[in-house]
Amino acid sequence: MARATSADILIIGGSGFLSGTLARQAIAQSHRVWTATRGQRPLPEGVTGIVADRKDREAFATAIAAAGAEWDMVVDCIGFEPEDAAQDLEVFTGLACQLVFVSSDFVFDPAKRRFPQPVDSPYTTADDYGGKKRRCEQVLLDSDSPLPWTVMRPCHIYGPGSQLGCLPYHGRDPQLIARLLAGEPLRLIGGGHFLQQPIFACDLADVILSALGNERAFDEIFCAAGPEIIQSVEYYWIIADILDVDLSVEEAPVAEALEAEPKLAPFLCHRIYDLAKLAVHGLKVPSTPVVEGLREHVESML
């Protein structure tokens, strides 16, 4: 199958951070874009909106059918429950040529990480965000649906439209810039020594769009990470440098943090990935340097 140059794309979501970025990137690439949302927030310019709450399964299916359209690609940016993945297969088989499901690198068991992290490493069994995303993936893996699917597992996503911060206790911190400008110390678990590969939202959108019509990506799972491995604290150093302020860090002990909040475990490990599989399968490989992406992110908030 030749890769489409201009295609019809439906995004489940479309008014949020990643989904909105994806919609804008798709329009910039001359694709025709629909979104399925609850209609509670404005959509990017040029998008055709379908108002539907996916949690109302019957109403969602009715709204999709009533749109009277078929799509070259459906991208589920918000699927979280296994029932969401099952819904994608049920509703879009016959209406779409392919499905992309946005999962998470939190599917991996944080206690059994390897470096770099293989795609098929041990998975978490916790009943949390990562555990539910993994069960969504399993629905796709176990399905006999003829609808081809691709799973993307991004790590920390940053960029305009989101709050800054990649590590507890300053993850997605709406006051981060104000804290830094005021000279307030940041309390980072482990001093921020954990390694990770933040991915710029526009890069992730381009990775997703590069799967369009690409049969080598069908029924495959990919880790989607940025091009650089950095310590989490370096992420905050870069922001401080952009703001031209000093960074002061107070170390929060890892053991104490985990004892108080076990749910933080997926953040408190090294998250390192080999991007070779993306290239081998003909997908876009993220390339935005962290300094460049964070500068754009910070400037969008000032």
Segment 101-139, tens digit of pLDDT: 999 999 999 999 999 999 998 999 999 999 999 999 999
CATH 3.60.150.10 fits 8-159+197-227+272-288, yes or no: no
Residue 3 clears pLDDT 60, i.e. is over it = no
Question: What is the CB neighbour count within 10 angstroms for residue 248?
Answer: 12
Mean pLDDT score, 200-214: 98
Residue 4 clears pLDDT 70, i.e. is over it = no
The strand pairing partners of 221, in sequence order, are 151
User: Do 189 and 268 form a contact (C-beta atoms < 8 A)?
Assistant: yes
Q: Report pLDDT digits (tens) over 238-258.
A: 999 999 999 999 999 999 999
Residue 116, preceding peptide bond in cis (omega within 30° of 0): yes
Distances from the Cα of 94 to the Cα of 71, 75, 88, 288, angstroms: 10, 15, 11, 36
Q: How confident is the model at residue 14 (pLDDT cuts 50, 70, 90)?
A: confident
User: Do 152 and 207 form a contact (C-beta atoms < 8 A)?
Assistant: yes
Q: For residue 1, what pLDDT is reported? A: 39
Cα-to-chain-centroid distance, residue 281: 19
**CA-to-CA distance for 126 and 111, rounded, in angstroms?**
12
Residue 2 clears pLDDT 90, i.e. is over it = no
Average pLDDT over all residues of the chain: 96
Residue 181 clears pLDDT 60, i.e. is over it = yes
User: Do 172 and 162 form a contact (C-beta atoms < 8 A)?
Assistant: yes
**CA-to-CA distance for 112 and 269, rounded, in angstroms?**
10
Residue 86 clears pLDDT 90, i.e. is over it = yes
CA dihedral 112, 113, 117, 122 (to 10 degrees): 20
Q: Report pLDDT digits (tens) over 31-79.
A: 999 999 998 888 989 999 999 999 999 999 999 999 999 999 999 999 9
Q: For residue 41, what pLDDT is reported? A: 87
**CA-to-CA distance for 216 and 280, rounded, in angstroms?**
9
Q: How confident is the model at residue 5 (pLDDT cuts 50, 70, 90)?
A: confident
Q: For residue 278, what pLDDT is reported? A: 98
Mean pLDDT score, 272-281: 97
**CA-to-CA distance for 124 and 4, rounded, in angstroms?**
36
The whole-model pTM stands at 0.96
Mean pLDDT score, 16-31: 96
